[in-house]
Amino acid sequence: MIYITVNCDEIHSKDEFFSALDGITPPYFGKNLDALHDVLTEMSGVILVKNFGELEKNLPCYAGCIKKVLCDSARENRSLRVTIE
C-alpha cells in the first residue's frame, strides 16, 4: 500500500503537481489527468492532499479538474482513499 502527501502550498504549475506524484506514478507516466485516473484506479493506497485552497488560487482553471479526478478515482477504486484538506 502506498501513502503519499501532496502539499499544495508548494505547487504553482501542472508540472509541479504531477511531480508531487512521482512516488506513485510509473516512469512512463504521461503527466495528464487521464493518465492519472488510470494509475489511481489500479493502485492501493492513501493520498492526502493538504492546503487544496492554495492550489485553487495557483491553478484556478485546473484545480477543480484535479479534484474531480482524485474523487472519481477513489469512488471507482475501493483500495484507494483520498483526503482533500
Q: How far is CA 29 from CA 10, 18, 33, 37, 61, in A?
A: 21, 9, 10, 11, 22
- Residue 31, sorted as left (phi over 0), alpha (psi -120 to 50) or beta, turns out to be left
17-68 pLDDT, tens digit per residue, is 999 999 899 999 999 999 999 999 999 999 999 999 999 999 999 999 999 9
Domain of 15 in residue numbering reads as 2-84
Number of domains in the chain: 1
Domain with residue 57: its CATH number is 3.30.370.10
This prediction has a pTM of 0.94
Q: How far apart are CA 14 and CA 2, in angstroms?
A: 22
Q: Are 10 and 20 in contact (CB under 8 A)?
A: yes
